[in-house]
Amino acid sequence: MAALRDRLAAAAAAVEAELASLLSPAEDSRLFAAMRHGTLNGGKRLRPFLVLTTADICGADRGNALRVAAAVELVHSYSLIHDDLPAMDDDALRRGQPTVHCAYDEATAILAGDALLTLAFQVLVEPATHADAAVRCELVGGLAAAAGAAGMVAGQMLDLTAADTASLDDIIRLQRLKTGALIEFSCLAGASLGAADAMARRALSLYARDIGLAFQIADDLLDVDGEPEEVGKALHKDAGHGKATFVGRLGRDGAHAEALRFRDSAIDRLALLGEKADLLRAVAEYIVTRRT
């Protein structure tokens, strides 16, 4: 696990540098300051790590992968800024610092999120991301599907309207969209960059769906059992807001068992890829044991 942490830290540093470059305006402005506040603030950078790792597995160029990894993190950061707004989850703390609407104001936070989302697609369409326009189009289409009304945004809508009486199947569907869609794109982006075959893409897609659910269950458990100083945000909010969660439906022990089931399933999905997918197997283990 220590080796994985080192790899995560190295990837996070590389992605942070790429993001800092992309978010360097010609002149200082309140908008760019808010965008940087919501993006250059640490975090696990798990989704970019998945892009970089699957790109390595599929033999893609590292520089291309780094740009796609940054684009994914721009979308993730936008989603967090908007999720934290009073109209959504109404959170004041994110990654141990004030959320964007608290550090600035609600209007600036909305615009910062809008700008980050738009910038992500600008990054993907630029030739520096890949020489082949068809690959760039594939990446744009994939990210749009993962982030939009049939993916992450749909999941957020379900999260706002679902009650704590939701069935397990409803919760799984919600989280496959809200959390899992962008994780799945992150794994498939590396396959697109490396022109992987259909069988490899299928294996990575199924792996991503399983770790996406394991990741969300771990989040649900951290909301109940975590420490705010470690997690970096307010906890114990899901039950008070009547959220539909795995813990609420299955209890602590049942949710933990479900997370382990998804972990094991994710690892099994990688059999086709052999030893070169060992880092992805370690990620599946890490997801269910993390404390942040």
Q: Find the DSSP H helices in the chain.
A: 2-22, 30-39, 46-57, 62-83, 100-103, 106-125, 133-147, 152-161, 168-175, 181-193, 198-225, 228-231, 246-269, 278-289
Domains identified in the chain, total number: 1
- Kindly give the confidence (pLDDT) of every residue in the chain, 292 residues in length, as a single tens digit, with 9 standing for 90 and above: 778 999 999 999 999 999 999 999 777 799 999 999 999 988 889 999 999 999 999 999 999 999 999 999 999 999 999 999 999 999 999 988 999 999 999 999 999 999 999 999 999 999 999 999 999 999 999 999 999 999 999 999 999 888 777 899 999 999 999 999 999 999 999 999 999 999 999 999 999 999 999 999 999 999 888 566 555 555 556 655 667 899 989 999 999 999 999 999 999 999 999 999 999 999 999 999 987 7
pTM over 0.95: no
Residue written as token pair 């369409």: 125
Domain of 41 in residue numbering reads as 2-289
Domain at 44, CATH number: 1.10.600.10
